[in-house]
Amino acid sequence: MKSHVWRPLYVVVALVILILAVRMFYVPKDFGIWERGYMYGFHRKGSENDWKAFKVKYKFDNEDCKDCHSDKYESIIKTPHAIIKCENCHGPELDHPNDPPKLTVDKRRELCLRCHYQLPYPTSGRANIMGIDPEKHNPGVECVMCHNPHNPTLEGLK
């Protein structure tokens, strides 16, 4: 073979060796999922205790809220907002009801616009969500001033 074939091949082999050498020094020895029989994965044994000590802020279902807030839960479960987790609007449950005694409610207009901004995509799932033009529909006013998020139907207008 001519040298124009060998030279690029040598460069590629040298790059592969360089990458493997850097990886050997850069990646921690305890990185991988050893107990499953293979060494590669996004898990590091040395950090397990750190993650066990990490305090979880968010719960993952609305059932926790149902016990104390059954009236709000029952009203929202019958609406399209039933698919939204309570913590999306009310913030992380963290240590509720003790700390804080009352969750803060995010009443910013931008929170509602994440789903209700009018999008011109008739074939997407977003076409089923009522959208608004924020420049024309009560600009500068919080949505909750007129709309009840726990009853987001037309009967829920304040």
Q: Which residues of 87-114 are buried (b: 16+ CB within 10 A; e: fewer)?
A: bebbbebeebeeeeeebeeeeebebbee
Residue 77: inside a domain, yes or no? Answer: yes
Of 16, 31, 53, the domain-final residue: 53
Residue 14, pLDDT score: 97
Q: How many whole angstroms separate alpha carbon 143 and alpha carbon 120?
A: 21
Residue 11, pLDDT score: 93
Q: How many whole angstroms separate alpha carbon 151 and alpha carbon 81?
A: 8
Residue range of the domain that includes 16: 3-53
Residue 20, pLDDT score: 92
Is 45 in the same domain as 75? no
Coil, strand or helix at 122: coil
Query: Of 83-87, 92-96, 100-104, which one has max mean pLDDT?
Result: 83-87
Decide if 105 contacts 87 (C-beta within 8 A). Answer: no
Model's pTM, two decimal places?
A: 0.56
Residue among 15, 18, 14, 41 nearest 28 (CA): 41
Q: CA distances (Å), 100 to each of 45, 48, 68, 91, in order?
A: 34, 29, 15, 11
Is 39 in the same domain as 75? no
Task: State pLDDT tens for residues 104-147.
Answer: 777 888 888 888 888 777 777 776 778 888 898 888 888 888 88
Q: CA distances (Å), 49 to each of 39, 57, 153, in order?
A: 20, 18, 47
- Cis-peptide into 28, omega within 30 deg: no
Of 12, 27, 53, the domain-final residue: 53
Q: How many whole angstroms separate alpha carbon 154 and alpha carbon 148?
A: 10
| Number of domains the chain is built from | 2
Is 48 in the same domain as 91? no
Task: State pLDDT tens for residues 29-77.
Answer: 777 666 665 556 666 777 778 888 887 777 767 777 887 888 888 888 8
Residue 39: inside a domain, yes or no? Answer: yes
